Structure formats: structure tokens, C-alpha cells
């Protein structure tokens, strides 16, 4: 423990059975960074932590505004389905890095953070995005950037507004398919315009 820090109350161990929401403990699906140079940042994760490029794509917001994105997957990803979960299982989260043109949603966000950027959001995989939204709303844990979850085939996602406690956005993600969906990424980024 750090000198001068206050011990937190110990919570009971997390049970290894579904909660009242019918889900298991949330799993960290991906960490999303907004940066000044996505290629250099991606190279950093590849050299430093062994990540590999999964896919690259451009989000076009119109009027010359774009965001360039690279999704990276960790080296220890296990191919195929594991016996105890219904999706691909890996210990480390995927990493999503994006940069954006000047005046764009991502570009402005990075500029407002000293031109370096940082962690924009952390995405937790849940069994039901809708039920998790209901739970968080009923407990007053967060507001969301959209009234309802955003959906693509096999993929449901939503963003909270930035936490007053940690400064970052939390995403909930419900996956049937592996990877990202450009339409959802665009809609999620649009939902963060100005925040």
C-alpha cells in the first residue's frame, strides 16, 4: 500500500455465477485511445506489448472530417471457442487507436488534451447492453450519450458520458461477432461530439 493511503473496505469475493442480471463478471473488451499519430501509437503497442493489427479503417463524417482507426489484438488471443464462454477468449483487451483531421471530433479531442490525447474510453463486454444501461441508470451511476444502444448485426454498443470520478467514458458492448463495425464506430463518435 502506498504511504499515506487509506485502506478501502474489503468487498466479498466476486461470485463465479451470474448476477441478478444474468451475466458473469464484466470482461474488459477493448481500450480506446485517441492520439495525435495512430500509426506511431500502434507501432508502440506492437513493439512494446506484442499487439498485432486486426483491421484498419477510415470513418468519414462528411465535410472533409475524418477519423482514421486501427484495431489491435493482443498476442495471446486464443482462436476458437472456449468451453466456458461463447466467444473468443483472450486475457488482454483489444486496443483501438484513432486520430483525426483538424476540426474533427477526434482531432479536437486530442487538441484539447495538449495535442497528445489519451484514453478515451474503456469497453466492457456484457451479456445485455440494454439491461446494463437500465441498471446503471437506476443506480445513478452514469448518463449515456444516446437514449438507446447502437446496433450493427452481431454487435450492440453504448457510451456513457465521461465519468465525473475518472474522466473517461465507459462503453458496454455485446458481441456475437468478432471485430468492429464502422457504422457503430461512426455513430458512437458522433455521440461524443463536444464532450
Those residues whose C-beta lies under 8 Å from the C-beta of residue 168, and which sit 6 or more positions away, are 119, 120, 121, 122, 162
Binding mask 111-130 toward Fe ion (x if CB under 5 A, else -) reads: ------------x-------
* H-assigned helices in 26-173: 38-49, 105-111, 129-138
183 membership: H or E segment, kind and range: helix 182-191
Q: Which residues pair with 66 in a beta bridge?
A: 60
Is 31 a residue that touches Fe ion (CB under 5 A)? Answer: no
User: Please, what is the minimum distance in Å from the beta carbon of residue 173 to Fe ion?
Assistant: 7
93 or 107: CB nearest Fe ion: 93
- Judged by CB, which is closer to Fe ion: 35, or 123? 123
- Closest CB to Fe ion belongs to which residue? 123
In this chain, which of 73, 94, 99, 171 binds Fe ion, going by CB under 5 A? 171
Cα Rg of the chain, angstroms? 17
Q: CB 159 → Fe ion: shortest distance, Å?
A: 8
Binding site for Fe ion (CB under 5 A): 32, 123, 171
Amino acid at each position: 500500500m502506498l504511504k499515506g493511503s487509506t485502506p478501502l473496505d474489503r468487498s466479498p469475493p466476486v461470485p463465479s455465477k451470474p448476477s441478478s442480471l444474468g451475466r458473469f463478471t464484466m470482461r474488459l473488451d477493448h481500450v480506446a485511445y485517441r492520439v495525435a499519430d495512430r500509426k506511431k501509437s500502434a507501432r508502440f503497442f506492437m513493439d512494446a506489448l506484442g499487439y498485432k493489427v486486426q483491421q484498419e479503417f477510415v470513418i468519414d463524417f462528411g465535410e472533409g472530417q475524418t477519423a482514421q482507426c486501427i484495431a489491435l489484438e493482443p498476442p495471446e488471443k486464443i482462436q476458437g471457442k472456449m468451453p466456458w464462454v461463447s466467444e473468443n477468449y483472450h486475457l488482454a483487451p483489444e486496443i483501438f487507436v484513432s486520430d483525426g483531421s483538424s476540426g474533427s471530433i477526434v482531432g479536437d479531442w486530442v487538441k484539447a488534451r495538449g495535442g497528445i490525447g489519451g484514453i478515451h474510453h474503456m469497453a466492457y463486454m456484457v451479456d445485455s447492453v440494454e439491461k446494463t444501461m437500465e441498471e446503471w441508470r437506476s443506480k445513478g451511476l452514469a448518463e449515456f450519450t444516446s437514449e438507446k444502444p447502437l446496433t450493427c448485426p452481431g454487435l450492440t454498443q453504448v457510451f456513457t458520458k465521461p465519468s465525473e470520478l475518472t474522466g473517461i467514458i465507459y462503453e458496454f458492448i455485446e458481441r456475437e461477432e468478432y471485430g468492429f463495425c464502422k457504422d457503430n464506430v461512426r455513430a458512437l463518435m458522433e455521440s461524443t461530439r463536444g464532450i
